[in-house]
């Protein structure tokens, strides 16, 4: 039968171990037992020597030894020393040999093993403490007495106290306490205390003795110094300080982002989740759990702020995500006796990241919202305190103390909380998320309607306790806010319809049923408003699938509660807490141990508290509490006593359940026992509205009530069976757990230090209960004794194989992994080899990652230098080529420019020669002309002879002076002549300007004359038309030819002299046209005279153009008035003439009739 390469390699290594076992190595751990059910042999715990030439085994060095020689040994890439191991050790002294160093290291290793044996006492559980018997009897006690080592002593009050053992007697020891008192206690009540040097360590795994009092003391020590974060294996512990601490801000965000700090912090957890998401490309989750008041909500806020700060931007989707958390806090949180800001619902905020690591969206998931606590939800008080006057009037708001739903507990205000300011912040958050003003007003209407519904009262009207709704302002305001009539609301709250056979009967409600109906309506409106608000926020934060990559989910669920009276709300919250605790147990304990056993790893099981029995009590079918509650809720006549009786009947034998006679029952949770009152379980679990209320909401005019009713009807049609609140809560919780299982979880446990919510106080018993319920000690033990880092062989070889000097990709992954472990001398006790994975203790992978990081950094440096050198060489070659090309181009350009300049020079030279010849010609002509003019002037002198005579009479010595004087005068005459010529030119230019202006004025005057002539012609034509019209009226009295019926005898037309005289009289002195004709002639002559005066310049005005314009304006004004007068005169003259003509025509016709 052929053997696998793994088996052959293991046999070879085992033979080498037997023959060449180094003497300076620590003893190997026990070999694992053979697994008969496995076909492959398990990997034996072995030493992996490095074989050198000659067949001898090279002495092995631990990772700490590599740190000691880090100045001499370089990594594979030669970029720095290798730094492995958890602790730093001293460097080699001068002259110290390597064998001496190894011997010292061996002694140190043996001392560590002794400390590990001493830690067995610390690992014992408090219920089965064997004291110092685990330390070889009296030898350890003598050591503790001799060295005066501190111990923890369990006192009679149940508290642990530090002390020193002074003596022993049998099974008891005398211990001196810090107050110098001496107590005698049995050995089982003593635990070793850690030395002072490790007090206040930030990781509990670093404690020498791991026990409850040591862990409690370490947390208290750090809490008193405002160091609220500690690490318990993979779990972050956060103790609520109940005050502001200087542990947050942009500086710390930058420090954790740049890996400048590595101390436990919420920023470190968020940064780890982000880096693993980007590196492993797997969704992450941050699970925050703890009791009510432990600080879960604030911790979730800090985690979201850090993730938003990693994005680097100042607004956008990051701000919306943070503001959405504040909106949910206002609508879903309330004050309780345990917490001033208690979450009354569970939420999961899934922050979506793009492939580049930027926030691109978010999605909210919520569990069933539970009833409010001591005080109602924050938004009610914020609205009453901070709403502006306009909104208050619209919503008809009053003070918070005036509403029944808000004043029952007597707690209206919270100390140091300004509800008015909180409301302004809420409005800003709603605007930031993108909820419209209209939707905000609708939401506030529903909140106000809920408050007014609580003020509706009832009065009993008969002996059967039937009621009627009191018609007051509460009914009116509630009806108007939800959009229905007051009568419809009163009818729905006071009666209901039931089906009696085939008939539908209206039944009047009794007082208790009416109150339940009112409260159910208010709760239904607010619960659906909360769901609607979540959907609106999800729509605003939605992201497309193309943009989304991976996500980080932040889970914040209601904390564990144990009040004086615990009801259905505490039952659901504590069940939620148990389910989340089981997730932690499975992830950290069960799965790890099962995987180690399956993979053939030597493993010492760690005892832990498993809450699976408690979960079975809640969930198991058909006898779990939730199943029995669901079954009992389906019976209409079931009561709290029948429900409690059924629980006792089916669960009385369960070790986590205890029933009581008064209807109460006790559940033994992982944290502590809680007593529940079964009263109210059935009513709160049913939480149903009768059909009349649904129909009322459907008929409302307001948009939101209609939407709520439609959603309710749609769900009832889709679901074949109506689920109760507990069943719905269970289903949502299972979906949440499935989502978390698909991610890599990071756990944060928030611890409540005291029940009074005061800063600085530390109640040890309360903290100890929380540590036990969370399994903190078990988590630290499993981290200390286990292998928290697990990597598959293929992944390990792929990730670290390049660190080997010679790496073959086709090599067996297991062989490559072993070679890597040999190369870096990892101690055998620091890892184990499984069938499929390598298992490392804490800190080893971090050291490997550091070497890999330095190797990659060195590779990047080499690559950068190579790329830089190649780029520089290419640049130089390119620069030389460019220089040559530029020289060629510049030479060619210079040659072309020189040729062009040469041609231009020749052209310019020719032009200058021509201009010079022309200048010379002009100069010669001018000089000739000047000479000729001078000569002509000399010839035109009146007395040349006298001058000649006088010149002849002058003595010879004065002749040159005379000539000079003559030349001077000639020169002055020429200068004067030139000045006169210039003046003449100026005058000629002025004359030309005046002539041009005169021509312009003359043209304007001619155009105006033509315009006036045309207008005068038009007026004359109008006058002639008027005259022709008057003359035509005169012809109406002329003769008309009429034939005799008996023949062609002409009848003389009518032409009476009297009538003609009357016409002439009217046409003479009373004609209205005559004055207008005379006025026209006068005005015509006046305008012509004025125009002629302007043209001839006789008007005496210096601006003739302005005079012409004024004259034109007067003419236009007169023309309009004249046309109006002419029209009136024509109408006046025409009307009486027509009447006269008609009168004459009638007289003439009568005469004709008489004649015939």
Model confidence over 215-230: pLDDT tens digits? 999 999 999 999 999 9
**pLDDT digits 0-9 by tens, 948-1003:** 444 455 556 656 766 777 788 788 888 888 888 888 888 888 888 878 877 787 77
pLDDT at 817: 83
* Across 266-275, 605-614, 984-993, least confident range: 605-614
What percent of the chain has pLDDT above 90?
A: 17
Answer yes or no: is 361 a known binding residue.
Answer: no
Catalytic residue among 189, 329, 561, 632: 561
pLDDT at 315: 57
Is a pLDDT exceeding 60 seen at residue 59? no
Answer yes or no: is 293 a known binding residue.
Answer: yes
pLDDT at 685: 84
pLDDT at 717: 65
For the question of residue 292 being annotated catalytic, the response is yes
**pLDDT digits 0-9 by tens, 538-561:** 888 887 665 667 899 998 877 788
**pLDDT digits 0-9 by tens, 372-402:** 556 888 899 999 998 999 999 999 999 888 8
Catalytic residue among 293, 386, 624, 1037: 293
Band of pLDDT at residue 843, cut at 50, 70 and 90: low
pTM for this prediction: 0.61
pLDDT at 1038: 43
pLDDT at 368: 62
Catalytic residue among 285, 299, 342, 448: 342
| CB-based contacts of 1043, cutoff 8 Å, min separation 6 | 1049, 1050, 1051
Beta carbons of 718 and 514 less than 8 angstroms apart: no
Backbone angles phi, psi at 153, to 5 degrees: -120, 130
**pLDDT digits 0-9 by tens, 1083-1104:** 777 777 777 777 666 555 556 6
Look at residues 556, 550, 555 and name the one whose alpha carbon lies nearest to residue 360. Answer: 550
Catalytic residue among 75, 332, 373, 559: 559
The better pLDDT of the pair 534, 135 is held by: 534
Query: According to CATH, what is the number of the domain 119-193?
Result: 2.30.30.140
What percent of the chain has pLDDT above 70?
A: 74
Catalytic residue among 43, 227, 230, 343: 343
pLDDT at 137: 37
Query: Distance between CA 925 and CA 947 in Å, rounded?
Result: 30
Residues 60-68, mean pLDDT to the nearest whole number: 35
Backbone angles phi, psi at 236, to 5 degrees: -95, 125
For the question of residue 75 being annotated catalytic, the response is no
pLDDT at 750: 93
pLDDT at 218: 93
pLDDT at 657: 92
Beta carbons of 248 and 304 less than 8 angstroms apart: no
* CA geometry: angle 1097, 1102, 1103, nearest 5 deg: 95
pLDDT at 476: 93
**pLDDT digits 0-9 by tens, 808-821:** 656 778 888 888 88
Residues 719-737, mean pLDDT to the nearest whole number: 78
Is a pLDDT exceeding 80 seen at residue 733? yes
Which range has highest mean pLDDT (32-36, 235-239, 508-512)?
235-239
Tokens 């409005």 belong to residue: 427
Is a pLDDT exceeding 80 seen at residue 1131? no
Catalytic residue among 67, 240, 339, 528: 339
pLDDT at 178: 87
pLDDT at 516: 85
Is a pLDDT exceeding 80 seen at residue 62? no
**pLDDT digits 0-9 by tens, 447-497:** 999 999 999 999 988 888 888 999 899 999 999 999 999 999 998 898 888
pLDDT at 424: 92
The better pLDDT of the pair 31, 360 is held by: 360
Q: Which helix (H) or strand (E) holds 658?
A: strand 657-659
Is a pLDDT exceeding 70 seen at residue 242? yes
**pLDDT digits 0-9 by tens, 168-223:** 888 888 888 988 889 988 888 888 888 888 888 898 888 888 888 999 999 999 99
Tokens 């928290």 belong to residue: 788
Is a pLDDT exceeding 90 seen at residue 265? yes
Mean pLDDT score of the chain: 76
Classified as helix, coil or strand, 796 is helix
Query: Distance between CA 72 and CA 66 in Å, rounded?
Result: 9
Look at residues 685, 673, 657, 669 and name the one whose alpha carbon lies nearest to residue 567. Answer: 685
Query: Distance between CA 272 and CA 266 in Å, rounded?
Result: 10
| CB-based contacts of 388, cutoff 8 Å, min separation 6 | none
For the question of residue 806 being annotated catalytic, the response is no
pLDDT at 1066: 42
For the question of residue 342 being annotated catalytic, the response is yes
The class level of CATH for 572-673 reads mainly alpha
For the question of residue 561 being annotated catalytic, the response is yes
Q: What are 1019's two structure tokens?
A: 């007026």
Query: Distance between CA 780 and CA 620 in Å, rounded?
Result: 31
* Across 41-50, 591-600, 658-667, 765-774, least confident range: 41-50
pLDDT at 140: 57
Query: Distance between CA 132 and CA 191 in Å, rounded?
Result: 8
Catalytic residue among 214, 218, 292, 611: 292
148: left (phi over 0), alpha (psi -120 to 50) or beta: left
Q: Print burial letters for 1047-1065: b (CB count within 10 Å at least 16), e (below 16).
A: eeeeeeebeeeebeeebee
For the question of residue 808 being annotated catalytic, the response is no
Q: CA neighbours within 13 Å on the CB side: how many for 405?
A: 28
> Can you give the C-alpha Rg of the chain in angstroms?
58
Is a pLDDT exceeding 90 seen at residue 347? no
Query: Distance between CA 251 and CA 1049 in Å, rounded?
Result: 135
Q: Print burial letters for 120-148: b (CB count within 10 Å at least 16), e (below 16).
A: ebbbbebeebebbbbbeeeebbeebbeee
Which range has highest mean pLDDT (76-90, 106-120, 669-683, 1142-1156)?
669-683
* CA geometry: angle 794, 799, 801, nearest 5 deg: 85
Answer yes or no: is 290 a known binding residue.
Answer: yes
Backbone angles phi, psi at 388, to 5 degrees: -65, 165
Assign 3-class secondary structure to 485-531: CHHHHHHHHHEEEEEECCEEEEEECEHHHHHHHHHHHHHHHHHHHHH
pLDDT at 125: 38
Look at residues 1043, 1065, 1067 and name the one whose alpha carbon lies nearest to residue 1053. Answer: 1043
The better pLDDT of the pair 806, 287 is held by: 287
Kindly give the pairing relationship between strand 229-232 and strand 190-192. unpaired
The better pLDDT of the pair 793, 841 is held by: 793
């Amino acid at each position: 039968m052929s053997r696998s390469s793994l088996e052959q390699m293991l046999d070879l290594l085992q033979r080498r171990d037997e023959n060449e076992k180094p003497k300076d190595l620590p003893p190997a751990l026990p070999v694992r037992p053979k697994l008969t059910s496995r076909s492959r042999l398990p990997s034996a715990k072995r030493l992996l020597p490095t074989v050198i030439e000659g067949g001898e085994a090279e002495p092995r060095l631990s990772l700490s030894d590599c740190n000691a020689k880090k100045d001499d040994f370089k990594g594979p890439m030669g970029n720095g020393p290798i730094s492995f191991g958890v602790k730093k050790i001293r460097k080699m002294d001068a002259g110290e040999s390597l064998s001496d160093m190894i011997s010292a290291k061996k002694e140190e290793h043996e001392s560590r093993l002794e400390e590990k044996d001493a830690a067995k006492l610390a690992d014992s559980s408090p219920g089965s403490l064997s004291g110092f018997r685990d330390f070889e009897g009296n030898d350890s006690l003598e050591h503790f007495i001799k060295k005066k080592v501190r111990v923890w002593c369990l006192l009679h009050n149940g508290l642990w106290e530090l002390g020193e053992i002074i003596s022993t007697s049998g099974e008891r020891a005398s211990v001196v306490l810090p107050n110098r008192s001496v107590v005698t206690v049995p050995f089982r009540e003593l635990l070793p205390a850690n030395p002072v040097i490790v007090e206040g360590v930030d990781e509990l795994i670093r404690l020498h003795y791991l026990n409850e009092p040591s862990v409690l003391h370490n947390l208290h020590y750090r809490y008193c110094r405002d160091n609220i974060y500690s690490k318990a294996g993979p779990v972050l512990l956060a103790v609520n300080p109940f005050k502001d601490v200087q542990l947050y801000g942009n500086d710390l965000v930058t420090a954790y982002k740049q890996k400048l700090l590595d101390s436990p912090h919420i920023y470190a957890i968020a940064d780890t989740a982000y880096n693993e998401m980007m590196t492993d490309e797997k969704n992450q989750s941050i699970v925050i759990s703890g009791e009510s008041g432990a600080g879960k909500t604030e911790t979730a806020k800090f985690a979201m702020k850090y993730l938003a700060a990693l994005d680097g931007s100042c607004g956008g989707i990051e701000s919306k995500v943070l503001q959405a958390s504040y909106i949910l806090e206002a609508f879903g949180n309330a004050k309780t006796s345990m917490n001033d800001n208690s979450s009354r619902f569970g939420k999961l905020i899934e922050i979506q990241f793009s492939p580049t690591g930027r926030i691109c969206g978010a999605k909210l998931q919520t569990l069933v919202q539970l009833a409010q606590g001591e005080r109602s939800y924050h938004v009610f008080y914020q609205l009453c305190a901070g709403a502006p006057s306009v909104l208050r009037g619209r919503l008809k708001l009053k003070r918070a103390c005036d509403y029944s739903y808000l004043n029952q507990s007597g707690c209206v205000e919270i100390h140091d909380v300004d509800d008015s300011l909180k409301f302004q912040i809420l409005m800003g958050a709603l605007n930031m998320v993108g909820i419209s003003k209209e939707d905000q007003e609708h939401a506030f209407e529903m909140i106000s309607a809920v408050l007014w519904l609580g003020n509706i009262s009832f009065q009993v009207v008969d002996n059967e306790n039937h009621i009627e709704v009191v018609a007051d302002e509460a009914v009116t305001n509630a009806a108007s806010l939800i959009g229905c009539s007051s009568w419809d609301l009163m009818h729905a709250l006071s009666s209901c319809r039931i089906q009696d056979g085939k008939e539908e009967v209206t039944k009047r409600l009794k007082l208790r049923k009416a109150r339940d109906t009112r409260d159910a309506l208010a709760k239904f409106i607010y619960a659906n408003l909360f769901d609607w608000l979540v959907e609106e926020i999800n729509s605003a934060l939605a992201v497309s699938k193309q943009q989304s990559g991976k996500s980080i989910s932040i889970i914040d669920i209601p904390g564990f509660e144990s009040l004086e009276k615990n009801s259905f709300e505490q039952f659901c919250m504590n069940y939620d807490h148990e389910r989340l605790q089981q997730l932690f147990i499975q992830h950290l304990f069960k799965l790890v141990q099962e995987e180690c056993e399956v993979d053939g790893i030597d493993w010492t099981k760690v005892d832990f508290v498993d809450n699976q029995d408690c979960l079975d009590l809640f969930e198991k079918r058909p006898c779990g509490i939730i199943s029995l509650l669901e079954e009992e809720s389906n019976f209409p006549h079931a009561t709290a006593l029948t429900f409690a009786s059924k629980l006792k009947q089916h669960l009385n034998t369960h070790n986590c359940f205890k029933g009581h006679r008064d209807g109460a029952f006790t559940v033994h949770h992982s944290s502590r026992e809680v007593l529940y009152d079964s009263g109210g379980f059935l009513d709160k679990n049913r939480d149903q509205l009768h059909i009349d209320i649904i129909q009322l909401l459907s008929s409302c005019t307001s948009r939101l009530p209609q939407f709520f009713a439609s959603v309710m009807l749609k769900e009832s049609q889709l679901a074949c069976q109506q689920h109760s609140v507990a069943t719905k809560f269970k289903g949502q919780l299972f979906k949440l757990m499935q989502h978390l299982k698909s991610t890599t979880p990071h756990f944060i446990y928030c611890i409540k230090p005291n029940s009074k919510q005061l800063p600085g106080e530390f109640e040890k018993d309360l903290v100890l209960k929380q540590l036990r319920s969370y399994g903190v000690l078990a988590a630290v033990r499993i981290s200390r004794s286990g292998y928290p880092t697990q990597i598959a062989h293929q992944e390990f070889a792929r990730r670290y194989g390049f660190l080997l000097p010679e790496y073959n990709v086709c090599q067996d992954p297991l062989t490559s992994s072993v070679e890597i472990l040999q190369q870096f001398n990892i101690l055998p006790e620091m890892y184990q080899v499984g069938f499929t994975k390598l298992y490392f203790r804490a800190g080893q992978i971090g050291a490997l990652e550091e070497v890999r990081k330095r190797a990659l950094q060195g590779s990047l440096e080499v690559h950068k230098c190579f790329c830089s050198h190649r780029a520089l060489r290419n640049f130089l070659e390119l620069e030389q080529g460019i220089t040559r090309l530029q020289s060629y181009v510049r030479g060619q350009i210079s040659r072309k420019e020189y040729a062009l300049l040469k041609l231009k020079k020749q052209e310019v030279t020719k032009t200058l020669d021509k201009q010079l010849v022309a200048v010379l010609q002009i100069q010669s002509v001018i000089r000739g002309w000047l000479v000729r003019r001078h000569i002509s002037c000399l010839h035109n002198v009146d007395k040349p002879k006298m001058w000649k005579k006088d010149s002849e009479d002058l003595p010879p010595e004065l002749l040159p002076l005379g000539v000079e004087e003559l030349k001077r005068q000639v020169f002055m005459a020429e200068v004067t002549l030139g000045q006169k010529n210039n003046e003449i030119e100026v005058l000629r230019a002025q004359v030309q300007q005046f002539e041009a202006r005169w021509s312009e004025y003359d043209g304007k005057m001619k155009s105006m004359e033509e315009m006036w002539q045309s207008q005068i012609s038009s007026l004359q034509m109008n006058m002639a038309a008027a005259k022709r019209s008057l003359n035509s009226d005169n012809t109406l009295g002329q003769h008309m030819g009429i034939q005799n019926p008996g023949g062609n005898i002409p009848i003389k037309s009518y032409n009476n002299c009297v009538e003609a005289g009357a016409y002439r009289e009217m046409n003479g002195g009373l004609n209205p046209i005559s004055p207008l004709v005379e006025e026209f002639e006068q005005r015509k002559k006046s305008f012509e005279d004025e125009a002629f005066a302007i043209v001839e310049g006789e008007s005496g005005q210096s601006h003739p153009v302005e005079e012409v314009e004024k004259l034109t304006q007067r003419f236009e004004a007169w023309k309009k008035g004249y046309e109006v007068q002419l029209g009136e005169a024509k109408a006046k003259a025409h009307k009486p003439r027509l009447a006269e003509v008609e009168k004459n025509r009638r007289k003439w016709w009568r005469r004709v009739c008489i004649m015939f």
